[in-house]
Each structure stands twice: as C-alpha cells, then as structure tokens.
Amino acid sequence: MRRLQIVALGLLVAAGNAPAAPTVTQTGWLEGASYRVDMPAGWTRGGGLVVFFHGYSDASIEFGEDERLSPMFEPMLHEGYAVIQSGYTRPGWAIEQGSADSERLRAWFVGKHGAPGRTFAMGMSMGGTLTVHALETHPDAYDGGLSLCGAIEPSDRMMQRDFAVRAAFDWYFPGIFGPLVPVADDYRADDAIVARVVAAMRADPNAAASLRAIYGAGDIDNLPGVIAAITYDVKEMQQRTHGNPFGNADLVYTGSADDDALNDGVKRYHADPEAAAYMARWYTPTGKLAKPLLALHDTRDPLVIASSAFEYALVVQRAGHARNFVQQYVKREGHCVFTPAEIGKAFDSLVEWSRSGKRPPSGAQP
C-alpha cells in the first residue's frame, strides 16, 4: 500500500455507475499544467462549480479525455455542478504549485464559461491541504470546502512526525534502508522494500509494536507500506527544498516499550533552517476560515492520522472561526476509502450549511 498515488481520479473510492446526466468533458494544458473540465450538458453562467484538488502523486498527472471520470464526482454532476481539476506543474508535495495552478484554472474557467453561482473547493489527502489553503487565501472565490482524508494539520508537524518515526525504525531495524539524510536519489517505495520491512517487523513484533505506538496509527499489515512511503516523502522534500527540512534532535520519544533505550540510541538529526522554512511556508494554516469547511476522515487511516485534523480545529478556534469547521468520520480502515454516496452526503451537507448557515453535526457521518 502506498501513499504515492492519491490523485485526481479518486482511485480509492468504490466503483459506481456512469453519471445519470450527460456531461461534456474538456482536457488541455494551462501554463504547463494538464487540466480536466467536466460539465453537465447545458451548464450556463450561474451554475455551480467544484474545484477539485488532487492528492500526492510521485508522477505528473496528465488528463486524457477518454479516461472515465471517478464515480465520486457523480453526486456533484447530477446536481448540476461543473468539476474542474488541475494536474499541477509539479508532482510530490506540490502545495505551492497546486495552489497557483488551481487558482489559475478557476480564473480561466470563469473567463471562458462565466461566473458560477456557487463555488466549492474539494480535495483528497494533500488535496485537503490545498482545499484549506484555498479557503484561507481566496475566501471571496469560494462558498465552502470539503476536505476528504485531508492532511490539514501544519505540514511540518505531520512530516516531522513521519521523519522521527523513520529514524526510530532505523534504530529498531538497522540495515533495512540506506541513509536517511539524504535519502538516496534512486530510492523507490516499491514492493521489494515493503517486503523487507514486513519481514523485519514480523521477526521482532515487540519492536514493531513500539514503532506503531510511537506513530499512533497503523498495524503490522499496513505500517510497512507507510514506512516505505514516508521514506519517499522525505527524499522528495529534501530534493524540493535543496536541503534537509527534518530533525529529531530535540524530540523526546515517548510511548515505546523502553523510551530510555530508544532516546539514548536513536540517531539524531538537525534540520537545515532554509529547508525547514520552506516546508513551514507550504503550509502552515492561519485559521482565518471565513467560509464553511467540512472534513471527513476514516477513523483508522494509517497515512493521514484521523486525530491530526483536531490540530486544525484548534487553529481555527484560536483565530475565532471555530463555527466554520466541522469534522466528521466514517468507521473504516484505510486512506480515503469513501464511497461515492458518503462523499455525496458530505457535499450535500456542506452545500446546505453554506446556504442556511446551519452547522452540520460533528462526529460520525449521519
């Protein structure tokens, strides 16, 4: 299992039927970014618009007109919303590029087809990050946002946690990976490395249990894929920032079977200041949430830990905008494993919230 392909096509949602209403699809390129537009037949100025932000991908996204649209968009198209997606000008943790490319696409759509009556941001995984960023930086452009399994805590908080866990893995299971700083240029989170991690963790279940406790999610079945994916993320961010944005030198590990032994033995690293500053810039939320944001998460998500969204709840609370944030969940294991019906229900709740001002309930999705 890999984090590296949570992309625009909704590959992890359940399959469904074709959209009930005829749609018109257009693909093309806008300043170096592939894009896709799906519109209900007869869409005119004043109709609804969804700007979708895809998730982390280790390869560039290029949309083909012959590709079937993910069934997760069926509820929006059925209700008359056009859906637009940018492939971004760069893969990886592309918050900087994805934000600019998607805003450029939104402006292009408005210029070509006319201003929508209502516009909503929606994204999966890293796309949830971009959804929050869009609402905070372009509040006048959106009526609300839907974050699906979104990484909406500060990026450095999430990635520093991942880095610290990978460093702990090296102490518990030496020799499985190569250097952590820097990760080798040719590293890939492929099946072979996942199999090596699986074998190591099964050979020492006590160490595996400590690692899981430190990380806070996952189990012996899915944590090896997480560790492999974390390593790729570290490499990509090191290359993106031209340095090492991660450090665990000032971290005291807790939660393992023997914290003293781990803290004494784990290798310590310091972050390069400029690299760390870039990671914090892309992105640290401000909490200036002027429009409704509904977040939906799987309770046992091994990649973007469900409890991490509470960090954003605190950020908006400190900024005085807590009324504009609601977190809901479905009781399921996996990353972004929602059905089209669940996504449609969440979207309808968001639309009704934006229209009536009545906040949906927090907690389990009704």
Gap between the terminal Cα atoms of the chain? 29
* Model confidence at 135: pLDDT above 90: yes
The Cα–Cα gap between 283 and 341 comes to 31
Contact between 85 and 271 under an 8 Å Cβ cutoff? The reply is: no
Of 230 and 21, the structure prediction assigns the larger pLDDT to 230
The answer to whether the Cα torsion of 184, 190, 195, 197 is positive or negative is positive
Nearest of 71, 88, 61 to residue 23 by alpha carbon: 71
- The string of pLDDT tens digits covering residues 284-329 is 999 999 999 999 999 999 999 999 999 999 999 999 999 999 999 9
pLDDT at position 21: 61
- The string of pLDDT tens digits covering residues 209-240 is 999 999 999 998 999 999 999 999 999 999 99
Domains of the chain: 23-153+285-364 (3.40.50.1820), 155-280 (no CATH)
pLDDT at position 22: 85
The percentage of the chain sitting over the pLDDT mark of 90, rounded to a whole number, equals 92
Alpha helices in 216-286 (DSSP H): 223-241, 259-265, 273-281
Helix (H, G, I), strand (E, B) or coil at 78: helix
- Sheet arrangement for strand 81-86: 23-30, 33-40, 81-86, 48-53, 118-124, 144-148, 293-300, 325-333, 363-364
The percentage of the chain sitting over the pLDDT mark of 70, rounded to a whole number, equals 94
219 Cβ contact partners less than 8 Å away, ≥ 6 residues apart: 212, 302
Q: What is the pTM of this model?
A: 0.94
Of 14 and 48, the structure prediction assigns the larger pLDDT to 48
Helix (H, G, I), strand (E, B) or coil at 361: coil
